[in-house]
Structure 1
Amino acid sequence: MVIRIILFVLGIAFYLKGCSYNPLVGWFVYSLIVIGLFSRNRQYAFFFLGGMTWVLAWGLWQGNGELSTQLEGRDINVVGVIYGLPISDQRRVKFDLRVIRSEIGPLPEKIRLNWYSPPKVIRAGQKWLLTVRLKKPHGYANPGGFDYEQWLLTQGIGASGYVRSDPTALLIGTSDYNFSSADWRQYFHALLTKQIGHSPYYGVSEALVIGYKANVTKTQWQLFKNTGTIHLMVISGLHIGLIATIAYFMTLKGLTLIKGLQVAPPQVAAMVTIAVSSFYAALAGFTVPTQRALIMLVVMMLSIIWQRHSRPIAVLLLALLVVVMVNPYTILSSGLWLSFLAVGLIQYVVTARLKPTGYLLSTVKVHVILTIGLMPLLIAFFQQFSVLSPLANFIAVPLVTFWIVPLLLLAVMMSLVSDGLGMFVFEMVELGFDVLLGGLSILAHRDFSVVYVANSNPVAWLLAILGAMILMMPRGLSSRWLGVVLLGPILFVVPEKTERGAFKLTLLDVGQGLSAVVQTANHVLIYDAGARFSTGDMGERVIVPFLRFNNINAIDVLMVSHSDNDHLGGVQSIIEAMTVSEVITSEPQALLSLKPSLCQQGQQWQWDGVTFSILSPGGKKFKARNDNSCVLKVSSSSGTVLLPGDIELPREVFLTNRLKAALKADVLIAPHHGSNTSSSEAFLAAVSPRWVLIPAGYRNRYKLPRSEVLERYKRYRIEAFNVSDTGALTVDFKKKSLRLSAYRENKKRCY
């Protein structure tokens, strides 16, 4: 059974991810399947094919899972129930809506909406008639970045959009289900807000009680991430297991005190455990990690109820099978692989093979094995891991498991009886958080606490898995040193070296904004830093992950063309994460704390045979901020690129009249995101580029790039590429050749 389940799961994984790799890999696997069908053990090939068939059938069954292109940008009337707790800030409320019906027929079952200045308090379980404007799931597509589209898919969300203010929305009522999980979550959310809304640990308390993480501070998230303890703030196996253990043994103890009981206490305790754990999972909103943990627990409890003694690995794989059959797309989630592997590694430690002696040694071995075993996956998914994770978890897991979570749940129950009793217990919980976050802060401030690993190839990753397996082998294996050697290629990635005289330009997908990275053999320049929002900025979301993915830890020049938010917004995050030697901008007053240099026409320098020239501002100061943008030209024997920022017609005319010959370039970043106030005919004729790269957001409210501008590019035989369609665009300026690649093209999806 074990091999069959593994092959079924691998079949799903191959179908969903196989086409992202070299087509030769696909043909190789298909050839193995065909050979397997005619072999003696053809059943194994059938199980692999079964996994592929299941995900295909499931996708067809969920046919309306994603919004059709024809419905994007249209006003649609829908009736739906708010699913999960809404997230509020000063400007808007964000929530998921489970669609009951719409005026235009089938829509995705679940959609994510923003509502700006709603007329009433938005609560989980409310039923609304809304006019919405939707778009297909769309995220920023960049190397090293978070795959938001894939995440939405694993959450079952088929569209996103916003609520229209006209016509007025109508609150119809509440969910048809009284005392639903949404009602309970809303109730406990209000209770926690009333009791500890003022506490610095309010957000983490909500995360542990009801799985609501919106109020966890950015600093707290970063602390948990850097110490490898972020899993403690996501209700999953650890938390469900704790509740299940308490429920099981308390019920078992209580039943043994009842004389003449006609039922077997273990079976009753198992049923009570399923009920209690299901309630806790419902409080967490039945998130994907919670579903995984609950399914795993139910499988284990059913083996007790049915008196079936199954091997732990069989129970684990059976739970995995149920999870991927309920929703095959969860196989795309990093959480699925990390959680099941973590449980498998713990099972491995507690078996007789490693013969732990005593609780302390056993606990240490668990954390060490988890660190080694999860390292290849953490690097593959996040390009980083915490060196201090074993020590941090050694401190944090007992604190959270035996102090914070039990007392937190007790405080909630006491608050139902008396606010005073509840606050008394909450004070003890706060003491636990003081110890936890204080200890983690000491560890996180070590320079070596987090190791960032650059992009590595699949071979290095597979070698790392093999190395981790060897290191986890029982004592006595003479070749354990080989495990350390095999981990080397993934930990010490040597990036591909750019030749002297060559350079690489990457226009990042930062939505409606601009950020470009220029790399020479030994230097890096960043041109603009994208936008900043209330929930974050493009520096932390896109630019820093891209730099780390490419093994870039220092920036020679950070050039900010001008001080508009969509160009300046991510600067602070870059400065905090990277060493920046020099900041250059046309508006120094906007970045005074960074002591920037003024960007002026005539400035020029050379790196590794590549020349950087500033063409503007200079000669004339224009009233409009856009027209005073830094205009940068990068040139070498391999080719040239012009980065004009947000300049408009007046500056284009000025440059065309004064510096016409200097404007010539092979690649042009579209001025002002493809606005009709830029890309004038005279300017395009002077630049005469082969390609124009357009930094515009998907379905942005300015409707950029304008159709007139695209027609203009076409008239001048300039091939245009929009990052909202292609993802990040990379141009390799190699000797006597230019090669353009699009991130979305390189990361094709099979779903």
Structure 2
Amino acid sequence: MRTGMCALALGLLAVVFLPTLPATGWLIGMLALALMLLPFRTYPLAFFLLGLSWACIGAQWALNDRLSPALDGQTRWVEGRVTGLPQQTEEAVRFELTDGRSRAGRLPKRIRVSWRDGPPVRSGERWRLAITLKRPAGLLNFHGFDREAWLLAQRVGATGSVKDGQRLAPAHNAWRDGVRQRLLAVDAHGREAGLAALVLGDGSGLTTEDWQVLQDTGTVHLLVISGQHIGLLAGLIYGLIAGLARRGAWPRGWPWLPWACGLAFAAALGYGLLAGFGVPVQRACVMVGLVLLWRLRFRHLGVWWPLLLAFNGVLILEPLASLQAGFWLSFAAVAVLILAFSGRLGPWSLWQVWTRPQCAIAVGLFPVLLVLGLPISLSAPLANLVAVPWISLVVLPLALLGTALLSVPVVGEGLLWLAGGALDGLFVGLAWLAGHMPAWLPAQVPWAAWLVSLLGAVVLLLPRGVPLRGLGWPMLLLAVFPPRAPVPHGQVDVLQLDVGQGQALILRTRNHTLLYDAGPRAGAFDLGARVVLPSLKKLGVAKLDLLLLSHADADHAGGAVAIARGMPVDRVISGETQRLPALLGAQACVSGRQWVWDGVAFELWQWPEAISGNAKSCVLQVQANGERLLLTGDIDHAAERALLDSPLAVPTDWLQAPHHGSHSSSSWAFLERLAPRSVLISRGRGNAFGHPHPQVMERYRALGSRVYDSAEQGAVRLQLGAFATPEVARGQRRFWRERLP
């Protein structure tokens, strides 16, 4: 049976790797075959097919609930009910709408919307909203966060921005929102938002600095309700009853073990209900329930059995849970602890019980974090040694008890004041630690090196005395210094990132790196920090030889400060130095300036008569083995005419479409002279400017140019100098991604 359960788990996971979901006929065939195989005791294959079929059915239901393509980009009046806890920021309020109805047609069950400068919105209210609806989508970069997959796993069928609205009915059964408002109103040393995160799972009130501190110290799991919090509460109830029974204080007529397991599970469910019972909380409750059931009836089956049952149970309840990083981190952490604690002889000292779990987690989760592309905190073992017991034994009990007693004058608020003070003191220490040891984002590791690293982690988790256990360290550390294929001499690895309505291109020769534009920034939303800087680190770039900002507009230079703070930059050049922050120390773009890196020629140009803005964009031409790339920034028709009199006005293989394909650029004379074989367009999907303009696209088609559009194809990677077909991020087929046009 255990083999069958493993096969079921593999089947439930296999859907993640499918480029497309099987048709209905194939699903029926797989189910029929699985049922036919069961009587012949071919359990592994039968359970694998059953798991795969169920996962495909669940995934297809989620895809069917997406917004119709006919409504994509349309503004429609929608009536619906606000669910969950709305997130109020200085810029907008974000919330989810369910049971949406519109005369335009059927709508998804869940719509995630944002209302800029909108009024306060409460959970449980009914609203009539004018929403510009969009199909679930997001930026798509190589090795980056896949928002489309995340939205699918959340069962969000559409997103949108609210233009107008009116409240139709007040909040109904919105007790969680009421608890949040009361928590935010108490005096908790400025840590009211942290208490709301602990008690309700609502992290929207935490500042960007708070999240950065938690990430740098590897303690995010402590402020986001996870299996640890659910398990802790269940463990406290179980331990309390067990302690009473050992001391003879428990009623003799009541068997203590069933009562301990039952009340512990009830406490876990109650905490889960308080936290909104989202997918992570459901996963934790399933795991706690199965562990308690194992303790009550099935201890003879071994410690791995409840983990396997919980793994399958979570995926059966939510087949798309494996698309979320939290799913893998939760089960991997439990598996690491089981492996670290099992097979040991003799009792452990208190010091060992306190320190060994954190060391085991640091080693065991290292390869998991690598493959998920997440930052690795070097200070996490030290931070968690203090933070885990402090949160578990001090802050969380005070916060839960204070919340439960809020109706009692002074008592509830006093307990929350103590909890807030304890949490604030912890944050002070974590901030100091984060300042000295920030999180490390490693470069992308080849699969072979990662597998060796994973094997090394498993070897290190084995008991002492296992032969050759010491070899685990060099195997594990292979992922820190993985072998990489260098860029060939005379070629350039060019990566146009998907940064929405903005631009950022990474150019790497064998020994040098140049970044052309730094991505957009709008308020606190800085894609230089969120996309460009992580992409550079994933490529193994330790420093920038040149940061070239075409001009100072926010969609091109907005992320420059974050990049300059995140890694060393030897030199900054821009077409508009006066409008850039002084800390960048930008130098002016000089027409005719040339240099050669590793056999690759670079040349700058700028229209000398330009006054400011788009026309002053610094243009860069790159030549590698006779293949040319021209990066033009946002030059307009006038600047294009001037460029035709320069040495750069020659046939070009790759052209970055001026001004994102705007009607004010890409004149016919300019395109006819350059005759680009391929065109790169960087823009946001459904942007308000209408980029690229239909007339511009018609000119490219008339020239026979192949267009690579970031809004449609995601990031684009090409090897300049190899005359090869480029790679596009959306070309990595997954069933949840829109097909290439």
Q: Structure 2: how far apart are the matches of 1:141 and 1:156?
A: 19
Task: Name whichever of 147-156 and 201-210 sits farther off.
Answer: 201-210
Give me the whole-angstrom Cα distance separating, in 2, the residues matched to 1:121 and 1:446.
Answer: 39
Other-structure match for 2:662: 675
- Superposed displacement of residue 257, structure 1: 8.1
Q: Which amino acid aligns with 1:574?
A: I
Instruction: Identify which range, 204-213 or 54-63, moves more after superposition.
Output: 54-63
Give the conservation status (yes or no) of the 8 Å contact 1:531–1:570: yes
Give the AA of the match of 1:653: R
SS in 2 for 1:588: coil
Q: Is the contact between residue 621 and residue 628 of structure 2 (CA under 8 Å) also seen in structure 1?
A: yes
Residue 100 of structure 2 corresponds to residue 113 of structure 1: no
1:358 Cα deviation (Å)? 1.8
1:210-225, aligned counterparts within 5 Å? 210-225=200-215
Q: In the alignment, what sits opposite 2:290?
A: 299
CA pair 37-641 structure 1, distance change in 2 beyond 3 A: farther
Which of 221, 228, 232 matches 1:231?
Answer: 221
2:687 is aligned with 1:700: yes
Alignment of 1:375 onto 2:366: yes
Counterpart for residue 727 of structure 1: 714
Q: For residues 355 and 320 of structure 1, what CA distance do their matches in structure 2 show?
A: 30
Q: What whole-Å deviation, never above 9, does each CA across 1:35-89 have from its counterpart, x for those lacking one?
A: x989997321222222211111223444532222122122333332211111122
CA contact (8 A) 1:661 1:686 kept: no
Q: Is the counterpart of residue 543 in structure 1 residue 532 in structure 2?
A: yes
Aligned partner of 1:329 in structure 2 is 320
Are positions 1:628 and 2:625 aligned together?
Answer: no
Q: Distance in 2 between matches of 1:388 and 1:587?
A: 41
TM-superposed deviation, 1:253:
6.7
Q: Secondary structure at the match of 1:157?
A: coil
Aligned residues: 723
What are the superposed Cα offsets for residues 343-373 of structure 1, whole Å, 9 maximum, x if unpaired? 1222333334364512221222211111111
Select 1:666's aligned residue among 640, 650, 653.
653
Q: Secondary structure at the match of 1:632?
A: strand
Deviation at 1:572, TM superposition (A): 1.5
Deviation at 1:430, TM superposition (A): 3.7
Q: 1:376 and 1:160, CA in 2 relative to 1: closer, same or farther beyond 3 A?
A: same
The counterpart of 1:504, out of the listed 493, 501, 504, is: 493
Q: Does the Cα contact within 8 Å between 2:215 and 2:439 map onto a contact in 1?
A: no
- Call closer, same or farther: CA 1:750–1:675 in 2, change over 3 Å: closer
Q: Residue type matched to 1:67 in 2? A: L
Letter in 1 for 2:662: S
Aligned to 1:205: 195
Q: Deviations over 1:430-471 (max 9, x none)?
A: 442344223333433335x64432112222222222111111
Report deviation, 1:12: 2.2
Out of 570, 575, 579, the residue aligned to residue 564 of structure 2 is 575
- Structure 1: gaps (5+ residues): 21-29
| Aligned mates of 2:127, 2:294 — CA distance in 1 | 43
SS in 1 for 2:183: helix
Aligned pair in 2 of structure 1 residues 664, 307: CA closer, same or farther (>3 Å)?
closer
**In terms of mean alpha carbon deviation, does 80-89 or 643-652 score higher?**
80-89
CA shift, 1:133, in A, is: 2.2
Tell me which of 583, 587, 611 is aligned to 1:597: 587
Alignment of 1:344-363 (within 5 A): 344-353=335-344, 355-363=346-354
Aligned match of 2:577: 588
Given that residues 63 and 736 in structure 2 are in contact (C-alpha distance below 8 angstroms), is that contact kept between their aligned partners in structure 1?
A: no
Match of 2:168 in 1: 171
* 1:642 correspondence with 2:633: no
Q: Identify the range of structure 1 (383-392 vs 253-262) with the bigger mean alpha-carbon deviation.
A: 253-262
Q: Which residue of 2 aligns with 1:494?
A: 483
1:277 is aligned to 268
Which of 513, 521, 531 lines up with 2:520 in the alignment?
531
Contact 1:12–1:328 (CA under 8 A) maintained in structure 2: yes
Identity of aligned residues (%): 34
Aligned twin of 2:280: 289
The residue that corresponds to 1:248 in the other structure is: 238
- Over residues 459-505 of structure 1, what are the superposed CA-to-partner deviations in whole Å (9 max), with x where a residue is unaligned? 22222221111111111112113322322432212332112211121
After alignment, is 627-636 or 62-71 more displaced? Answer: 62-71
Paired position in structure 2 for 1:520: 509
Residues 651-687 of structure 1 show CA distances to partners (whole Å, capped at 9, x for unaligned) of: 112222x216545321001100011110000110122
- State the one-letter code of the partner of 1:193: L
Query: 1:617 matched to which residue of 2?
Result: 607
| C-alpha contact (below 8 Å) 2:62/2:155 kept by paired residues | no
For 2:107 and 2:732, locate their aligned partners in 1 and report how far apart those are by CA, in whole Å: 30
Aligned residue type for 1:702:
F
Distance of aligned partners of 1:44 and 1:193 in 2 relative to their CA distance in 1, 3 Å threshold: same
- Whether contact under 8 Å (1:616, 1:632) holds in the other structure is no
Q: CA RMSD in A?
A: 2.7
Matched, 1:135 2:121: no
AA in 1 matched with 2:237: A
Is 1:472 the counterpart of 2:461? The answer is yes
> Match for 2:435: what amino acid?
H
The aligned amino acid for 2:282 is Q
Distance 1:87 1:144 in 2: 28
- State the distance in 2 between where 1:436 and 1:129 align: 43
What residue in structure 1 maps to residue 45 of structure 2? 45
Which residue of 1 is the match for residue 26 of structure 2? Answer: none
Aligned amino acid, residue 14 of structure 2: F
TM-score calculated relative to the size of structure 2? 0.92
Name the CA shift for 1:196/1:529 in 2 (closer, same or farther; >3 Å). farther
Residue aligning to 1:743: 729
Residues 184, 283 of structure 1: 8 Å contact kept? no
Deviations 1:16-38 (A, max 9, x none): 22549xxxxxxxxx9xx99x989
Change in Cα spacing, 1:421 to 1:260, as seen in structure 2 (3 Å) is closer
Match of 1:653 in 2: 641
Q: Which residue does 1:184 correspond to in 2?
A: 175
Residue 57 of structure 1 aligns to a residue whose secondary structure is helix
User: 1:564 is matched with which residue: 536, 553, 561?
Assistant: 553
Equivalent pair of 1:131/1:169 in contact (CA under 8 Å): no
CA contact (8 A) 2:241 2:250 kept: no
Aligned partner of 1:149 in structure 2 is 148
Per the TM alignment, residue 423 of structure 1 is displaced from its structure 2 partner at its CA by: 4.3
Query: Are positions 1:320 and 2:311 aligned together?
Result: yes
Distance 2:720 2:420 in 1: 56
**SS of residue in 1 equivalent to 2:672:** helix
In the other structure, the counterpart of 1:554 is 543
Contact 2:607 2:643 (C-alpha < 8 Å) held by counterparts: no
- Aligned equivalents of 2:353 and 2:180: distance in 1? 38
1:93 corresponds to which residue?
A: 93
Kept after mapping to 2: 8 A contact 1:467/1:486: yes
User: What secondary structure, in the 3-state scheme, does the structure 1 residue paired with 2:320 have?
Assistant: helix
Cα distance in 2, alignment partners of residues 661 and 450 from structure 1? 43
Q: In 2, Cα distance between the equivalents of 1:517 and 1:655?
A: 24
CA distance in 1, matches of 2:499, 2:448: 30
Distance in 2 of aligned mates of 1:129 and 1:637? 60
Q: CA deviation at 1:250?
A: 4.4
Q: Which residue identity does 2:719 align to in structure 1? A: D
Please, which moves more after superposition, 240-249 or 521-530? Answer: 240-249
Does the CA-based 8 Å contact 1:330-1:336 persist in structure 2? yes
1:574-605 residue CA offsets vs partner (Å, 9 max, x unmatched): 11111111111122122222221011212222
Supply the AA of the counterpart residue of 1:16.
V
